Copies of this chain bind each other. A is one copy, B any other.
Amino acid sequence: MIIRLDMQSDLPIYTQLMNQIIEGIASGELKPGEDLPSVRSLASDIGVNLHTINKAYTLLKQEGFIQIHRQKGVVVNPEGMPGITPEYEQKQAEQLRPMIAEAICRSVDKEHLLQIVESLYDDILHGEKENA
């Protein structure tokens, strides 16, 4: 899987990493049980600090997306992904709300917005990247 980082984004690198791995899982490119690169190899591959990779993996583990085994390495959670928890629903709404509010201000009508979301949903499912 190819990781693309934007070093001048305002998003922390570990967040970009998490997003890309989650998107890889969403698209099916990474399947449950599949190995992820070790902290060390990934760090050297993409040229970032070990701590950064570690932080991303640790957070992904906390949220249930991956498992970290001391010796065996890192795998996409073979027991499947976390479900729809109340905490998740709240976080999702908190994130979505300001974006939707801005869309309303900018006169994006509801149908248009839903169409944008739907189209992104399909893109991700089919593994289409932002730059594609």
Residues of A that sit less than 8 Å from B by CB: 7-8, 10, 12, 19, 22-23, 25-27, 62, 65, 67-70, 72, 81-84, 88, 92-108, 110, 113-114, 116-118, 120-122, 124-125, 130
Closest CB in chain B relative to A52 CB, distance in Å: 10
Copies of the chain in the assembly: 4
Contacts of A25 in B (CB 8 A): 101, 105
Contacts of A8 in B (CB 8 A): 67-69
Per CB-CB distance, the 9 closest pairs between chain A and chain B, nearest first, are A26-B104, A19-B98, A23-B101, A26-B101, A81-B105, A22-B101, A26-B105, A8-B67, A100-B120
Contacts of A103 in B (CB 8 A): 92, 121
